[in-house]
Structure 1
């Protein structure tokens, strides 16, 4: 999801790599898990982790915890906010995350963000976003808490620029029927079509990713 802001407005003015130290912390207040609208967009990895840990399928999540919306012209799933205070559906009565161990990428990243450029990205620290900041110096890679960091970062970059390329292609074609077909294809290919819980996710994603690029002529 693109944001129409400048880096000066939202960051401390620095870019970070995974081995850099950054001031970040979490008091567990749940403030960043409420009132987020449709902004917690879910990647295929996010969905895989949620359904494999909760032992549910994508369709059952759609009826309860997540919803579909158009993001930069493409239909994608996001965490559903509802009720008093527009809370994330995965928060419990004490404002604690019930899926913290396999939380989505955007949640895992916060209060960091990513700046994408030249088919790569760097991290930045968002300011004035956390309502109850308790910052401590921590390495970016420790904050991300990803056991397969290289594969994870490769997937993040691939997925972002794939969606960007699709968006540019659809804007160039300017065909509403094609846009619907492509959106449904991406939804089916990367979200609805079942993954094996026994096999490595990244290998499964890579195969689908290559097939999708060929299918969409990217």
Structure 2
């Protein structure tokens, strides 16, 4: 794992209190990371709640405008759409700026960093050549710009583990109908069911995670 990361990074592992060269002058005049991203800008439940709250839309409405679904190792997961004509993010405005910058998904906040999921939690690496603008040093936690960062990182680790467990579970099912049923239940629990406005996300996440675990056999 670390050997693979060394091939695409500067060879260093960063924690949230470390300094890393990602400062990019507020991306002035550049939006390279907002184009030709395909289905790689994943949307997790935390992102989903923020988008629903800030845009005033439910998940079905998001799917009509800005969110798509794709299969990732057997599991159906959401992503931000690209515009068909320009192959740029649907939220990139005419000025070449992000129109949802304040509540953009975690993948967008992270770039050009990548995540490493280990038993100790989440750490980070700098992707080589991912952003030509990254020159100045900035603390990782400031770059991520996410409130309650410790709880957020715990959620990220739990979400990553849950997806891996779901993918492994789906690989053991015999029929496509069974797989579809499980995927739709997954989407219903974590995305289609509206998140409660004003409620602590992490409490709601724990309830939904427990619900999924209670209905799936070991």
CA RMSD of aligned residues (A): 1.7
Aligned residue in 1 for 2:12: 14
Aligned residue in 1 for 2:205: 205
Equivalent-residue separation in structure 2 for 1:121 and 1:52 (angstroms): 26
Pick which of 156-165 and 198-207 moved more: 198-207
Aligned residue in 1 for 2:118: 117
Q: How does 1:60-209 map to 2 (within 5 A)?
A: 60-118=61-119, 120-130=121-131, 132-209=132-209
Equivalent-residue separation in structure 1 for 2:7 and 2:217 (angstroms): 37
Q: Is the 8 A contact 2:122 2:153 kept in 1?
A: no
Equivalent-residue separation in structure 2 for 1:110 and 1:117 (angstroms): 19
Q: Is the 8 A contact 1:119 1:157 kept in 2?
A: no
Unaligned runs of 5+ in 1: none
1:23 is aligned, of 21, 25, 49, to 21
Pick which of 55-64 and 97-106 moved more: 55-64
Q: CA deviation at 1:174?
A: 4.2
Deviations 1:199-218 (A, max 9, x none): 11111111111111121235
Secondary structure in 1 aligned to 2:198? coil
Equivalent-residue separation in structure 1 for 2:174 and 2:165 (angstroms): 14
Aligned residue in 2 for 1:35: 36
Secondary structure in 1 aligned to 2:97? coil
Q: CA deviation at 1:176?
A: 2.4
Q: Is the 8 A contact 2:121 2:153 kept in 1?
A: no
Deviations 1:95-146 (A, max 9, x none): 100100000010000010011233733211111111x413211111111111
Q: Is the 8 A contact 1:170 1:179 kept in 2?
A: yes
The number of equivalent residue pairs is 214
Unaligned runs of 5+ in 2: none
Equivalent-residue separation in structure 2 for 1:166 and 1:103 (angstroms): 26
Q: CA deviation at 1:173?
A: 3.3
Pick which of 19-28 and 159-168 moved more: 19-28
Q: CA deviation at 1:72?
A: 1.9
Equivalent-residue separation in structure 1 for 2:185 and 2:107 (angstroms): 24
Q: Is the 8 A contact 2:48 2:191 kept in 1?
A: yes
The TM-score normalised by the length of structure 1 is 0.92
CA spacing shift, 1:174–1:118, aligned 2, 3 Å: farther
